[in-house]
Amino acid sequence: MKGLEKISKFARARLNRGLPSSLIYFVTNVCNLKCEHCFYWKQLNTSVEDLTLEEIEKISRHLAWLNNLSLSGGEPFLRKDLAGILEIFYRNNSLQFSLIPTNGYFLDPTLTVLKKLRSLCPKLKLTIQVSLDGTREIHDRIRGVKGSFDKAFKSLEALREYQRNHAGLEVVTNTVVNNKNFEDVLELYRLLKERFRGMHVGLSLYRGGGFGDNLLPPTEPQWQQIIEILRQQERGEMKRSPALGNWYHRMRTDYLDYVNLRALHGEVSPWNCSAGDIIGVLDHNGDVKVCENYPPFGNVRDYNYDFEALWGSEKAQVMRRLVRECFCNHPCFLQASTSYYLSNQATILLYNLHKNLSLEFKKSSRKKHFLELQQAQSGS
Ligand code: SF4
Ligand code: SF4
């Protein structure tokens, strides 16, 4: 498998000049909320040094093909030129997919961006991910601003309605689960599933780094209870549309659940992280990092916006060597790494085979035990 991995890595490097095909770009550090779980809080609303459109244009000319671009922040829709940013990557890097997580506070600017994108990036597949942390009271408490739930929910309704007539747009939600909202998560899930049929309702584990007093991830049993109910529901939905993609998606989800459970248990699950290879991070001020958990290895402004030169620099290589020994349960990097690395796909396959075989074994030994019991009872 290692040989195959090397060949595919070599092919990718040749095809994309060793540049990332997935980029997480923090378009601004300006935000109107004060979420307890925000890992970016120290940088929020400090000096605004956001890259300008002209600077972004220069950077994108030094990137190759971009499959996926996440526009994060801060609140991305506070940038008035957001559609222009996407258009640059769409034009220069043949961008295919984009994800914009949002707190859902600014509906009109969001709709304005979507309308502009129809003509600027007609073939772009765009996902808007509205963050909800619980039902009204819990959400507002965690987000630090009263009324933020109502704003986000209203935006969600309007955006789902807009999605009905606009192919290529998907509107979903995500909830960061922690010790302050885990009791409310299932109620929120039911509310969303009832109101928005077929919508993807995502959950991710709080990873730490926020400022909230005593804010912690949920405990292992709490998380297990939540995901068991969720996965049951998802499997019911998948049965209605059986497809090979669903089959692989289910295997991958099971593996990611396992990684998360182990992380809550204080254990790491070795997987090959693609940070600094397939995926990288561009910060609002031009800093470049292998992932959000590492310090920047340079700033594009100091490299005359030559992203390729910075990405290939010695400082970047040092970071890459560190990443080889690094494991975590960051959902974006796990998704990218399990999509692109054959070794991770093999791990997923082996994990599922092992799990199913052990389950079968458990079932058959339970059945055997039951038959023996029956025989013993009838004989007595
Ligand atoms: S909306 Fe996002 S960037 Fe703003 S405080 Fe909340 S988590 Fe942080
Ligand atoms: S394993 Fe996690 S912390 Fe380490 S480089 Fe990858 S994404 Fe970053």
Query: Does residue 336 fall inside a structural domain?
Result: yes
Residues sharing a CB contact under 8 Å with residue 208, sequence separation 6 or more, in sequence order:
39, 217
How much is the pLDDT for 357? Answer: 61
Q: How far apart are the first and last CA of the chain?
A: 56
How much is the pLDDT for 129? Answer: 98
How much is the pLDDT for 75? Answer: 98
How much is the pLDDT for 239? Answer: 61
Find the domain containing 77 and state its range: 2-218+270-340
How much is the pLDDT for 240? Answer: 58
Place of tokens 């609002």: 284
Pocket test for ligand 1, best of 33, 105, 149 (most atoms within 8 A of CB): 33
Q: Is 275 near ligand 2, meaning CB less than 6 Å away?
A: yes
How much is the pLDDT for 14? Answer: 60
How much is the pLDDT for 248? Answer: 78
Query: Does residue 255 fall inside a structural domain?
Result: no
HSE (side-chain half, CA atoms, 13 Å) at 158:
16
Query: Does residue 80 fall inside a structural domain?
Result: yes
Where would I find the H helices in the chain?
A: 2-16, 53-61, 82-93, 107-120, 136-143, 148-164, 182-195, 220-239, 244-264, 307-311, 314-323, 331-340, 342-379
Query: Does residue 14 fall inside a structural domain?
Result: yes
Residues sharing a CB contact under 8 Å with residue 345, sequence separation 6 or more, in sequence order:
338
Taken in order 303, 308, 311, 312, is the CA torsion positive or negative?
Answer: negative
Q: Is 327 near ligand 2, meaning CB less than 6 Å away?
A: yes
- Å from CA of 68 to ligand 2 middle: 18
| Number of CB atoms found within 10 A of residue 302's CB | 11
Residue by residue, pLDDT tens for the chain (380 residues) are: 556 666 665 566 567 888 999 999 999 999 999 999 999 999 999 987 999 999 999 999 999 999 999 999 999 999 999 999 999 999 999 999 999 999 999 999 999 999 999 999 999 999 999 999 999 999 999 999 999 999 999 999 999 999 999 999 999 999 999 999 999 999 999 999 999 999 999 999 898 899 988 999 999 889 888 888 888 777 777 665 556 567 777 888 888 888 888 877 777 766 778 889 889 999 999 999 999 889 999 999 999 999 999 999 999 999 998 887 777 777 777 777 777 788 888 888 888 888 766 554 444 444 444 344 445 444 33
Q: How far is residue 48's CA from residue 287's CA, in Å, rounded to a whole number? A: 14
How much is the pLDDT for 246? Answer: 72
Closest among 49, 158, 53, 58 to 102, alpha carbons compared: 158
CATH number for the domain harbouring residue 21: 3.20.20.70
Residues in the chain: 380
Q: How far is residue 106's CA from residue 158's CA, in Å, rounded to a whole number? A: 11
Counting the structural domains of the chain, the total is 1
Atom 4 of ligand 2, nearest CA residue: 326
| Ligand minimally distant from the alpha carbon of residue 281 | 2
Segments of 18-112 assigned E as strands: 22-26, 68-72, 97-102
Query: Does residue 331 fall inside a structural domain?
Result: yes
Q: Is 335 near ligand 2, meaning CB less than 6 Å away?
A: no
- Å from CA of 293 to ligand 2 middle: 7
How much is the pLDDT for 369? Answer: 42
| Ligand minimally distant from the alpha carbon of residue 32 | 1
Q: How far is residue 71's CA from residue 126's CA, in Å, rounded to a whole number? A: 11
| Ligand minimally distant from the alpha carbon of residue 323 | 2
Which two structure tokens, joined as six digits, stand for 174? 């995500």
Q: How far is residue 154's CA from residue 137's CA, in Å, rounded to a whole number? A: 16
Atom 5 of ligand 2, nearest CA residue: 323
Task: Quickly list DSSP for 313-339.
Answer: SHHHHHHHHHHTT-----HHHHHHHHH
